[in-house]
Amino acid sequence: MKKTVFITICLIASLGLKAQFSNEVWHEGFLVTTEDDTLKGLIKYDMEANIVQLIVNKSKVQTFSSHKIFYFEIFDKVVKNYRQFYSIPYEVNYDYTIPIIFEVLYEAPLSLLAREAVVQENVPNSSVYWSGTVMQDKMMKTFYFLDKKGNIQMFTGKRSDLLSIMARKSNDVKNFIKKNNLKTDEVRDLIRITAFYNSI
């Protein structure tokens, strides 16, 4: 009985230690609407719903859909860094385009964008009292490339896909990845590769 109670307490405690994600927090920042209004205050974003909430001068919460947003910037309390987002038209289905929110990770003639979503995954439990797996929330990023013509292409994370997107300079990019032992599905490495591509 005592063992069962202890395990239950450990499980409840582990749930209480759930990581806090950036989309769950209010951040200082500003938002530019499609009507060119600039609003400063506390910002909370939801990429899955494509909305941004804003509190100006401790007043009521205003909600903006991606149709009403041009750009917003925050100082992210969680990652301790500035982040920039645009609402950009994207073809979500064949012949159906709507503006959705993208984060700009690297801006250049070939820009690197990202969207994020919270997903659940099974992870091994390290407790000495109970073995198995537990469900845990994880922030997953999906990457996109935006070219000078405004075309947006989703990136799978595979090296072959990246070399296809960067076909004009694929040999140089391939050598750069190999020389620096970079991974095409990790944010920092992907930014380095994109910066290199734009520099040559």
Buried residues in 103-114 as b, exposed as e (16+ CB within 10 A): bbbbeeebbbbb
| Domain ranges, ordered by start, for the chain | 19-115+141-155, 157-200
State phi, psi for 31 to the nearest 5 degrees: -130, 135
For residue 9, what pLDDT is reported? Answer: 37
β-pairing, 51-55 vs 96-106, is: unpaired
For residue 119, what pLDDT is reported? Answer: 78
For the question of whether the overall pTM of this predicted structure is more than 0.95, the answer is no
- Domain 19-115+141-155 sits in CATH at 2.30.30
For residue 84, what pLDDT is reported? Answer: 98
Please report the sign of the dihedral spanned by the C-alpha atoms of residue 107, residue 113, residue 118, residue 122. negative
Chunked into runs of 10 residues, the chain (200 residues) has average pLDDT values of 40 48 94 96 96 93 96 95 96 87 97 89 64 73 94 93 95 96 94 96
For residue 188, what pLDDT is reported? Answer: 95
For residue 181, what pLDDT is reported? Answer: 96
For residue 96, what pLDDT is reported? Answer: 86
